Structure 1
């Protein structure tokens, strides 16, 4: 067996670190992978548990609907990205450094290192060992993700390795895989976003050849993270993974196809994808929150399965967001968008990009946080740059001010309600692809709406008590033994520019019990010409 590579953890070492950090539920009782496993983990996301309380799950006693067991096999769910903290542990970096780590790795990739033997090839199964019930794919504990709707177990955390027949460059893509037989699986390589595997398939089809493919199950986390990342089409994800690790990723050549795969992976499924015909795939519960209905996709015939003697299958919890599928993208995509706007497009007023996660799954709503004083022309450049950065992401792009928390949808709606005028502050861009999700009735071509919900000038203060009074009240709350508080922003008032020292002084007199002096002040400025609700500005503070 090849010793553990320096610079990065395999999945087992990563799970050990999660356990040590108190971030792993180890479930030792029998759990049915077909009916119980994913629903159990799903409650972590639909049961009111805050993100900070979510953990990874490791199932060590896996069964199926027929009562079969899987000796030597475990299933991990949430181990890659149940939370940003778990993702950061897989990267070996603090959460705050994730964005810069990605940018540095893409700028300085490190080529993989080929080895002669590997843990992922301790056991090699070919020929008759792949055929029949309980053999081949049917011997692997692959869960059903959406019991009651999915038609089969699915690969959800699998990296599909293919090679461009023209350039020879490999690609690793994260695609869903519908198990069909002990030696057959159908994969969806999304056409709309130019998935690398799909591009390669078209080239092999033009050559009249089957496409060699290798499916990596249980990759080292630092390799697994490259699959869903938005990398340029002709980039070998293994080189970027090396950049992330700061060391070459050890790879081994497959047994029946000419592809290189991570040596420290858990399981490798090798084979060829037919380029003459397509097979129905699905339905499958997707991360846009709807069932992906049955459609024609790429059929792979398995020629070998290699694995460790004792192995762990990684499965991603997906479907309605938030989920692991959305977290693994959110923490990586947002820094790339920010870098694109600030450094590529040179828009210095952009301070943050946030992708809305609950239910909408990142792609539909993007919030761009803009610094106060940024020219309106730059706000619109930021909106247009966000909408055009990658295909199928950014149906609604909304610019907001720094006092608006983009993670709080109520605050974004508040900004839209009071800081934007639909006539002047919205723009619709046509000819956007339908992207990831059910097709809109009435047409395949979608559009993008850009909304400038930034303040166009000064606004009155936020109508909550000032911080000093809220702090005092919170201390009193705790002294009284009232229920524990989890403050929601905004929890105190603050100025947005349209306020005067005179009004501050009047408010101070009121909190000092001298409100009668404010009444004498207003009585001294009675007007016989003002109309109801005319502004009363410029009134000086009269002596008490």
Structure 2
């Protein structure tokens, strides 16, 4: 059975020995990241910080950062089993393999409308037990963490951002980071290709004075993950969540914006963005392993907060891979493989290594090769190449002697080799932008956490000196 909300999922993890409660006081600025990062690298449990300094609200982290946790969260044996179910559904909907690229792309839309996957509307919901408006709206009531030393401030890192296409009325759910500027405004990190950014631009094209936005924190784990899924713009992510759950997600009308929000979320932020209004956002320790530098992004104005009586604040952090988004992304890779095969039937398998952060590098096994060829284990080189390579200037081709066994060259023992310059570039190499620094925790925080490791009650998992 799928989990109703984040609380059921946390209770399940604790019952299976895969969640640890931390009762010692912990600072939301950097300390939570450092502790959680150490446990992530050691394949440790999820964490629930119950004594966050300055707050009476617990913080949950590392909820999805292992294959077993993702399997539990999505109520599946494994992602390949879910992919097989999707593949069977494709055949059922189409009555056989679809022909033509357009028909193949339309299959996804028809597929997720099959069965009882549609969201269910309710009129009362736990996420609206408390309603705050006016001067009671204060983002600083939540233990929003600062992840890395050079971050511009605290960031909401696991939000389900909800917008509606101004032209079609179709809702979109996406996970976009949100820098907290003050008690009622944040940045909205809508990259150009994201659907939320399309809705933002569409509002400006229509000369709408604002685009309504809601942000859900917590809720059903499947719904949270679905916000990260790369669906076409006209497909509601809650339909995909319903397919995975095999039952519809419960939604409730927001209190002050014309949007439907997950009924079992912990916290809902309601408000708007104004087309054309932007503010400098960043730096932020990003999932590339580097800081993304400050750039202008839209401003989200929070006008209403609804929440449970005693909410749990869910968060995550990213950085040099792998971090939690890696395990979330690996499910996407497996689940979407059948859809890739719809378009490219010669594909046998794919693997998006952690170092490629799911958009810079993909290993593909096709039918002329052996199945599973893409199952490799790249590390430092793959990470640097995926992030530092500019193909126009950094590919080096040279002719010369080659191994006798190299069959790719048209002539024996002589051919070409390719080198990749994945180093940090400077002005003397024509690179005049500022090169972003690697993400590293400060020595002060590392030492502080090491000194407090026993107090945190984590020595039985990994010793502080062995991390």
The alignment's TM-score, normalised by the length of structure 1, stands at 0.64
Partner of residue 204, structure 2: 205
Q: Distance in 2 between matches of 1:267 and 1:184?
A: 16
The alignment's TM-score, normalised by the length of structure 2, stands at 0.74
Partner of residue 29, structure 1: 24
Q: Cα–Cα, structure 1 residues 363 and 156, in superposed 2: closer, same or farther, change >3 Å?
A: same
Tell me by how many angstroms 1:265 deviates: 0.5
Q: Distance in 2 between matches of 1:331 and 1:243?
A: 15
> Which of 368, 371, 375 matches 2:364?
368
Q: Distance in 2 between matches of 1:298 and 1:218?
A: 23
**Structure possessing the higher relative contact order (Cα contacts under 8 Å, 6 or more residues apart):** 2
Deviations along 1:484-529, whole A, 9 cap, x unmatched?
A: xxxxxxxxxxxxxxxxxxxxxxxxxxxxxxxxxxxxxxxxxxxxxx
Tell me by how many angstroms 1:333 deviates: 2.0
> Which of 62, 65, 85 matches 2:52?
62
Q: Secondary structure at the match of 1:215?
A: strand
> Which of 68, 75, 79 matches 1:92?
75
Q: Secondary structure at the match of 2:200?
A: helix
Q: Distance in 2 between matches of 1:423 and 1:264?
A: 62
- In the alignment, is the contact (CA less than 8 A) between 2:86 and 2:338 conserved in 1? no
Q: Distance in 2 between matches of 1:422 and 1:9?
A: 58
Tell me by how many angstroms 1:249 deviates: 1.1
Q: Cα–Cα, structure 1 residues 219 and 203, in superposed 2: closer, same or farther, change >3 Å?
A: same
Would you say 1:76 and 2:72 are equivalent positions?
no
RMSD, aligned CA: 2.9
Q: Distance in 2 between matches of 1:423 and 1:182?
A: 66
Tell me by how many angstroms 1:101 deviates: 5.0
Unpaired segments of 5 or more residues in structure 1?
A: 1-5, 131-135, 380-400, 429-439, 445-544
Q: Distance in 1 between matches of 2:210 and 2:13?
A: 41
Q: Secondary structure at the match of 1:275?
A: strand
Partner of residue 348, structure 2: 351
Deviations along 1:223-256, whole A, 9 cap, x unmatched?
A: 0111111111111111221121111211111111
Q: Distance in 1 between matches of 2:157 and 2:77?
A: 26
Tell me by how many angstroms 1:152 deviates: 1.1
Q: Report the count of equivalent residues.
A: 374
Partner of residue 318, structure 1: 318
Tell me by how many angstroms 1:419 deviates: 6.4
Partner of residue 408, structure 1: 377
Tell me by how many angstroms 1:18 deviates: 0.8
Partner of residue 290, structure 1: 290
Unpaired segments of 5 or more residues in structure 2?
A: 91-107, 383-401, 419-428, 434-467
Q: Distance in 2 between matches of 1:310 and 1:182?
A: 20
Q: Summarize the alignment of residues 95-110 of structure 1 with structure 2, pairs less than 5 Å apart.
A: 95=78, 96-100=80-84, 104=89, 107-109=111-113, 110=117
Q: Distance in 2 between matches of 1:44 and 1:90?
A: 19
Structure 1 segments (4+ residues) deviating >3 Å: 100-106, 340-343, 401-405, 416-428, 440-444
Partner of residue 219, structure 2: 219
Structure number with bigger Rg: 1
Q: Distance in 1 between matches of 2:184 and 2:66?
A: 34
- In the alignment, is the contact (CA less than 8 A) between 2:145 and 2:155 conserved in 1? yes
Q: Summarize the alignment of residues 93-492 of structure 1 with structure 2, pairs less than 5 Å apart.
A: 93-95=76-78, 96-100=80-84, 104=89, 107-109=111-113, 110-130=117-137, 136-146=138-148, 148-191=149-192, 194-208=193-207, 209-336=209-336, 338-347=337-346, 350-357=347-354, 359-370=355-366, 374=368, 401-402=370-371, 406-409=375-378, 421=408
